[in-house]
Structure 1
């Protein structure tokens, strides 16, 4: 009869392990290919190859090991060969995202006039900053300890925060697109109030919390077989601990969650695409109509009145859509780019997650393919760090205030830069 012993401490490795391994037989499990092919580790570099098998295997004692030098060695090699590009990618996003989103919060929170657009941009920056400070930071720890991350509570919180930020961002981007659409299609109608924008922000937070609950329930520690070592008296089963859907969770729940999330993302992407296509079409029509209209050349009074009204409508549209006349147009362009990056950054993740969950992907993959797959499974982190860069390229106001804020943080340059700014403002007023 087979005896089973569950041991997780490092002390489970016997003192005579090196001697016993001379007569050991090894069995490598392929269950990591079945459930999570990205985590498969097939290597004989850590433990020597078997020579022969002795003894009755039915009398062996099973010892389950989840930590220790052999687990560390497997984890370190998997990190260096597969996860290192993803780790570097997350480090770059963290280095860019934290100071960048901090500047966005500073500029749009303290150095800008409170408008509906500024409120939405500030909310996006706060969500992105939370994502950087906690989600990406935790992901770095998970990547470094990918096969030995036995911290289910941290895993649950990390996935909840990521879900909360991303889903709240989706609602904010939809609200921005609707606000842009209303200003374009109905420029003379009443605009969105600040109170309405604040209610939308609160509702987006509640929506993010509600949609994050399944991640708390489903995620945790997933036990994964790595390899098996048989000696004359015992069977050592090495197991990894991963931050994935927890042990005992039925696969149907993972499939349903992924289908619902994928459908929601596709639906929101379609709505955003339709709204911004109307915005772009209206911008082009407004430019063309504004160039053709010449109210002074129309002789009949009724036609002159109609042309003047058309010119006024087109002027209003230009002031709120065109990137050439002023700030409103640049804001439109900036928000459109933010939305586009959000949509594109989620596409690789959704495709790979769908293939992984429904086991459509190839079972046998090379180390390079696994590294690429892990890299793009974290593609959605991009939208949390790249927005400040987009603001710098598009918004002149953000660039100026961000440069001012940075100069104020540098010792010895605060007073000099303040004098330069005051002199520049006086020159503008004189001119």
Structure 2
């Protein structure tokens, strides 16, 4: 029996440890792809042009591509956990994952900065529908630049596998790796960057929240009811805060694990601990599925448009089915008439 057959046999034996993370990713993919597609349709067709809509639409596009492209890869590298031989595939998709992380981060910081200027500095120069495209392009290019080391450094992690008297080397496309000093520096840099972005978001929204609280108190003291613009501003801020909080919490385990990569032997973990580790390594995936639910929870207009969209799709499908059935009935009647005439 050659080494490849031994690796395949060991991989098949160990796959039961990965069933939980595989199911976790499959469920998120099944929910995330249609969920983000619905956001793309509704925000493009039903919302008027604004800075908020532009950023949310780009964020939804990022999440949709993440669910469509990287979920199948993540599932595949779990199924072929010890038999992942294609280094270029590993590099390509992990680079794509880090790009989506960076780009999403920059979009959220842009949204927070936009809300900060609107609420706290309304008379100063603002992000507008005319210049927001430059913020989007800048976010994209910065994400590409920060992503370059991932493409260079991502390895296939080699692990020694034993099965009875057989010993072979397994090849893993690892989420967390520290194969050299450069990888350690890059992982540390990514963790620092994540901490910096999370801190910026936290500080900006604390300032925004305090300002809106003071404005609300002032309206109450002067007996002024909140205007439609005030209610809209409050709703957008709640959505932005929640999206940012989910982003920070879902990515936190990934960057913590990147820091401690190599500190313990994963093969010595029991089945439950190993499965939990692989889910925590991919906790970031939840961030790219959660946003449609956040919009639906806070935005009544989004919920209404979702219902309209579903009813439109259902009615269109029903109409097409009825038309097809009617055509079949007409065809059958013609065939019956022709047979009778003959």
The answer, yes or no, to whether TM exceeds 0.5 is yes
User: What is the alpha-carbon distance in structure 1 between the residues aligned to residue 14 and residue 20 of structure 2?
Assistant: 12
Alpha-carbon contact 2:83-2:170 (below 8 Å) kept: yes
* Equivalent position of 1:297 in the other structure: none
Q: Deviations over 1:402-430 (max 9, x none)?
A: 22222222255677xxxxxxxxxxxxxxx
Please name the residue that 1:111 is paired with: 46
Q: 2:12 maps to which residue? A: 76
Cα distance, 1:124 vs. partner? 0.3
Classify 1:246/1:117 alpha carbon distance in 2 versus 1 (closer, same or farther; 3 Å).
closer
- 1 CA distance for matches of 2:290 and 2:24? 13
- Deviation larger for 238-247 or 187-196: 238-247
* 8 A Cα contact 1:222 1:245, kept in partner: no
Q: Deviations over 1:375-421 (max 9, x none)?
A: 10100111101101111111122112222222222255677xxxxxx
SS of the aligned residue for 1:227 comes to strand
C-alpha displacement of 1:191: 3.1
What CA RMSD, in Å, does the superposition of the two structures yield over aligned residues? 2.5
Contact 1:345–1:382 (8 Å) recurs in 2: yes
Aligned partners of 1:290 and 1:413: how far apart in 2? Answer: 49
Secondary structure at 2:173 match in 1: strand
Is 2:234 aligned against 1:329?
Answer: yes
Relative distance call for 1:246 and 1:319 in structure 2 (3 A) is: closer
Paired with 1:407 and 1:286, the residues of 2 have a C-alpha distance of 40
Match of 2:306 in 1: 402
More strand by share: 1
**Of the two, which has the highest radius of gyration?**
1
Following superposition of structure 1 onto structure 2, how do residues 99-178 of structure 1 map, counting pairs within 5 Å?
99-178=34-113
Q: Shift of the alpha carbon at 1:328? A: 2.9
User: 5 Å matches for 1:13-412?
Assistant: 13=1, 65=3, 67-68=4-5, 70-80=6-16, 82-227=17-162, 237-244=167-174, 250-293=179-222, 325=231, 327-357=232-262, 359=263, 364-411=268-315
1:153 shift after superposition: 1.4
SS for the counterpart of 2:126 is coil
Normalising by the residue count of structure 2, what TM-score does the alignment of the two structures yield? 0.86
CA contact (8 A) 1:221 1:245 kept: no
Distance 1:257 1:413 in 2: 51
Report the Cα distance in structure 2 between the residues aligned to 1:276 and 1:160, rounded to whole angstroms: 30
Partner of 2:156, secondary structure, is: strand
Unaligned runs of 5+ in 1: 1-12, 14-63, 231-235, 295-310, 416-431
Question: Using the alignment, how far apart are the partners of 1:241 and 1:285 within structure 2?
Answer: 57
Greater helix content: 2
Q: 1:228 to 1:364 in 2, by over 3 A?
A: closer
Q: CA deviation at 1:250?
A: 4.8
CA displacement at 1:85 relative to structure 2 = 1.0
- Tell me how far 1:278 sits from its aligned partner: 0.7
**CA gap 1:414/1:195 in 2 versus in 1, 3 angstroms:** farther
Q: Is the 8 A contact 1:218 1:245 kept in 2?
A: no
In 2, Cα distance between equivalents of 1:242 and 1:259: 21
Specify every segment of 5 or more residues in structure 2 that has no aligned partner in the other structure, as ranges.
320-342
- Distance, in Å, in 1 between the alignment partners of 2:99 and 2:266 is 32
SS at match of 1:195: coil
- Aligned pair count? 319
Q: Are residues 113 and 290 of structure 1, via their aligned partners in 2, closer, same or farther at CA, if it must alter by over 3 Å?
A: same
The secondary structure found in structure 2 opposite 1:385 is helix
Contact 1:355 1:361 in 2 (8 A): no
Distance 1:149 1:351, change over 3 A: same
